[in-house]
Structure 1
Amino acid sequence: MRRRLLVLVAATTTLVLVAFLLPLALLVRDVAADRAVQAATVEAQALTSLVATTDRVSLGLTVAQLDADSASDVTVFLPDGERLGADTGRSPLVELAERGTSASAEADGGREIVFAVEGPEGSVGVIRTFVPDERLARGVGRAWLLLAGLGVALLLVSLVVADRLGRRLVRGATDLAAVSHRLGRGELDARADTSAPGELGVVAAALNGLAGRITDLLREERETIADLSHRVRTPLTTLRMDAEALPGGEQSERIVADLDAVDRAVTDVIQQARRRGSAPDRAEADAADAVRERVAFWSVLAEDTERELTVDVAPGRLPVALARGDLDACVDALLGNIFAHTPHGTAFTVRLEPRPGGGARLVVADQGPGLPSGQHTGALRRGVSGSGSSGLGLDIVRRTAEQSGGEVRLESPASGGLTVVVDLGGRAAGPS
């Protein structure tokens, strides 16, 4: 923007200077030529009375002195044909003057001026003055140089002023962009400078108002989520007390474990609501440990529904750029979809392996009916579902993968079913 403004100002100023200085330069040239011609005319007219009254010797001395002192060539043609002064031939203009007509005209190398002088007994003498081009253009070169310097100085001044103005405009636009990026990163306390020039100040004020409104909305959302989550704790506490009051056994322990899982989920919701609106932290979790734990949790339900479960988790730690709660929610969404959308007895496989370049690749494949043709892309959009569900499960998986710097792919093997490939970015990865 700043460079374009400079180019625009330079082009406009140049056009204005050319339109102003070019006629002025031509006027200076014409004025210099007229001044030289006028001076030569005055010198020649001074000889008019001498030609008619002075003797030839005195006239010759006068013409010689004038010719030596003047920058013009002065020649007097007497009626008897004698020539005094500068050595030159009879030009057509001189012959015209001998017939009684004074005139001036352009000639090779300058300008020729002739005067017809009427002598005694009707004889006509001619005074010829020749003004060379050097005298006609005397001072013109220096004047043109001054005009050119003036034009360059005016151009530089206009560029300096335009650069100052452009710098201020660009600084305002750059500040707006920087504040927008900060708001996009979650720094909701960022505010733009409303003293920016013109419309930029209006945009800055509007951006500040938008940031304030977003802050208010997020605060209301956090408070609402926190209130709802806190209300859920009361029935959870009641259920825990009821579960603990049941006779001891595997079923009682499983109910208590399920309640613990729900309690952790509620706690995660509250913590995420409190973190929302602030700059995100780059967390890290062990994908191998999370997948093993969540698969162990769902394996009980798989056994109850007669589903064959195959688990293949790479040994060792597989750190990914996610909080443990987000990672657990992602795995739960994948496995929960299998139980919700496939019939009892459908086998499924869970595989976790290192991802090239860091992170981990989680593959969940089932032998169910799969997705209808053409719905693989739409199924990843929030709220889209082809089976009457809320459509949030795969959206949670997609957002979790993108948060870590990875992605999600849906594949339909030739043998049937659905395969979900989730690439989770490593600790050093950023959002794609």
Structure 2
Amino acid sequence: MRRRLASLALATTSLVLVAFLVPLAVLVQALAAERATGTAAAWAGSVAATAALGDRDALAAAIAQAKGAGVPVTVFLPGDRFVGEPAAAGPGVRLARLGRSLTVDTPQGREVLVAVQGDGTTVVRALVPPERLREGVTRTWLVLGLIGLALLALGALVADRLARSLIGPVAEAAGVSRRLAGGDLAARVAPDGPPEIRDVGTALNQLAGRIDGLLRRERESVADLSHRLRTPVTALRLEVDAMRDREDAARVGAAVASVERMVTQVITEARRSGAERGPGCDAAEVVAERVAFWSALADDQNRRRSVRLAPGPLPVPVRAEDLAALVDLLLENVFAHTPEGTAFAVDLTARPGGARLTVSDEGPGFPGSDLVERGASGAGSTGLGLDIARRTAEESGGRLRVRNGLAGAQVIVDFGNP
């Protein structure tokens, strides 16, 4: 944009200079011709006055003076005689013999003709050569051209400074907007430039402050709501402690512990700023730990499982808590939406630029709708599980895909490079 503004200013300056300098150059040429013609006319009049006296010696002296001044003069006497510079009597001379004084342009230059009445008509011819008509014009044109170039350079400099004063604040506002889009809600614009651009910067700062306030209140609300869940979770733990069947108590206690861990994670995540990113983790270790946790329930429901994990460490740019929650969500979907006894498989492999986690089952598969959309569900659930998993994958630089395989549903999560 800065280049476009400078180009526009240069084009405007060029048009103004052309509109000013071209007529001025034509005027300079016309003035030079008029000046040379006026000089020749003055000498022609002086010689004509001498010729009217009839003194041949004085006439010869006047012609010599005019020649010394650079104006060749020829006096055509009555008949075919002439005095001064040799020249042919052209149409202009013949017209002047009728008693008219005139100026005629010829290939040899401009002729100034003065008729002198006496014993017959005498015609005084003063010739202005073409180079005299343009004397000083080239030098003046060169000076005008240099002045035009200097004005053009000055206009370019001023246009660049003006463009910079406009583009600088706009570029700063664009940079701040990109930082805001990246999660840096503390980014602010220092309003500068014309009033309109300062208004844009002020409005952007107000928008950033408003977004920051809304997100802060949302995080606090989620954290408060999650904190309230601790009371019923504590009550459940007390109920588990009161159970007589130790095996059932251990199984239910593990589920309550999982719920409590999830609540704690929600509180931590809600209070964590969106711009903060924790360190990555070893995907092999986290996935193995969560698969082992769900193995007890799989054994209880007679589910065959196939677990193939790449040897660690397999680093991924996801916090251990987020990856554990993702694995729990995918395995919970398997247990919630497939009949007991349905087999499932968990595969973790390395891929170029990251890692890939695949969770598949031999159940009925996904319905035809796009289940990656937030809130979409085909089995009466909230439909948020896959959306949470998708966001975790995308924040790591990867993606999530769902599809129906040959034996059932399949969820493929690609993680980015740490």
Settle same-fold status: TM greater than 0.5. yes
- Kindly report which structure 2 residues correspond to 1:55-204, keeping only aligned pairs within 5 A, or say none: 55-68=55-68, 70-119=69-118, 121=119, 123-204=120-201
- For residues 145 and 40 of structure 2, the distance between their equivalents in structure 1, rounded to whole angstroms, comes to 30
Tell me what 2:299 maps to: 303
Query: Following the alignment from structure 1 to structure 2, what is the Cα–Cα distance between the partners of residues 65 and 398?
Result: 105
Distance 1:315 1:55 in 2: 128
Partners of 2:335 and 2:10 lie apart in 1 by 71
Whole-Å Cα distance in 1 between the matches of residues 367 and 241 of structure 2?
45
1:282 offset after TM fit, Å? 4.8
Following the alignment from structure 1 to structure 2, what is the Cα–Cα distance between the partners of residues 230 and 412?
A: 38
Residue range with higher mean Cα deviation, 263-272 or 26-35: 263-272
Residues 56 and 44 of structure 1: CA distance in aligned 2, closer, same or farther (over 3 Å): same
Match of 1:412 in 2: 404
Are the equivalent residues in 1 in contact too, given 2:366–2:403 (CA < 8 A)?
no
Q: Which of 367, 370, 387 is residue 362 of structure 2 equivalent to? A: 367
Alpha carbons of structure 1 residues 342 and 246: separation in structure 2 relative to 1, 3 Å: closer
Are the structure 2 counterparts of residues 338 and 217 from structure 1 closer, same or farther at C-alpha, using a change threshold of 3 Å? same
Distance 1:296 1:422 in 2: 20
Q: What 5-or-longer segments of structure 1 have no aligned partner?
A: 428-432
Point out the more displaced range, 147-156 or 279-288: 279-288
Q: CA contact under 8 A between 2:284 and 2:314: conserved in structure 1?
A: yes
Deviations 1:357-387 (A, max 9, x none): 3x321111111111234x3xx2111112233
Q: Give the match for residue 320 of structure 2.
A: 324
Residue 162 of structure 1: how far off its partner (Å): 0.8
Alignment root-mean-square deviation, CA: 1.7
Q: Secondary structure at 1:379's aligned position in 2? A: coil
Q: What secondary structure does 1:118 align onto? A: strand
User: What is residue 424 of structure 1 aligned with on the other side?
Assistant: 415
State the shift of 1:355 in Å.
2.1
Cα distance in 2 between the residues matched to 1:291 and 1:145: 82
Q: Is residue 2:288 matched to residue 1:292?
A: yes
- What amino acid does structure 1 have at the position aligned with 2:403? E
Is the 1:44–1:129 Cα contact (8 Å) retained in structure 2?
yes
Q: CA deviation at 1:241?
A: 2.8
So what's the TM-score if we normalise by structure 1?
0.92
Whole-Å Cα distance in 1 between the matches of residues 417 and 22 of structure 2? 69
d(CA) in 1 for partners of 2:57, 2:278: 113
Residue identity in the other structure for 1:326? D
TM-score (structure 2 length as normaliser): 0.95
Please tell me whether the aligned partners of residues 67 and 85 of structure 1 are also in contact (alpha carbons under 8 angstroms). Answer: no
Q: Report the equivalent of 1:392.
A: 384
3-state SS in 2 of match to 1:188: coil
* Residue type of the alignment partner of 1:234: T
User: Cα offset for 1:243?
Assistant: 2.2
Instruction: Give the one of 223, 229, 235 matched to 2:226.
Output: 229
Residue 4 of structure 2 aligns to a residue in which SS? helix
1:335 aligns with 2:331: yes
What are the superposed Cα offsets for residues 319-370 of structure 1, whole Å, 9 maximum, x if unpaired? 211111110111111111112222222211111122233x321111111111
Contact residue 71 and residue 135 of structure 1 kept, 8 A: no
Distance 1:93 1:360 in 2: 102
Change (3 A) 1:366 1:235: same
Q: Matches of 1:341 and 1:246 in 2, distance apart? A: 28
1:244 has 2:241 as partner: yes
Q: Please give the alpha-carbon distance, in whole angstroms, between the structure 2 residues aligned to 1:255 and 1:340.
A: 16
Specify which of 187, 202, 212 is matched with residue 215 of structure 1.
Answer: 212
The 3 A distance-change label for structure 1 pair 325 and 80 is same
Where in structure 2 are the equivalents of 1:28-67 lying within 5 Å?
Answer: 28-67=28-67
Aligned residues: 418
Q: Secondary structure at the match of 2:371?
A: helix
**Cα displacement string for residues 234-257 of structure 1 (whole angstroms, at most 9, x for unaligned residues):** 222232233234347232233333
| Partner SS, residue 229 of structure 2 | helix
Q: Which residue matches 1:380?
A: 372
Match for residue 345 of structure 1?
A: 341
Q: How far is 1:266 from its partner?
A: 1.6
Equivalent position of 1:4 in the other structure: 4
State how far apart, in whole Å, the 2-side matches of 1:313 and 1:395 are.
Answer: 24
Equivalent residue runs for 1:249-260 within 5 Å: 249-260=246-257
Name structure 2 gaps, 5 residues minimum.
none
Q: Deviations over 1:240-298 (max 9, x none)?
A: 23323434723223333322222222221122112224x23252112112212222222
* Offset from partner CA, 1:381-419 (integer Å, 9 cap, x none): 111223332221111121111111222222323x33112
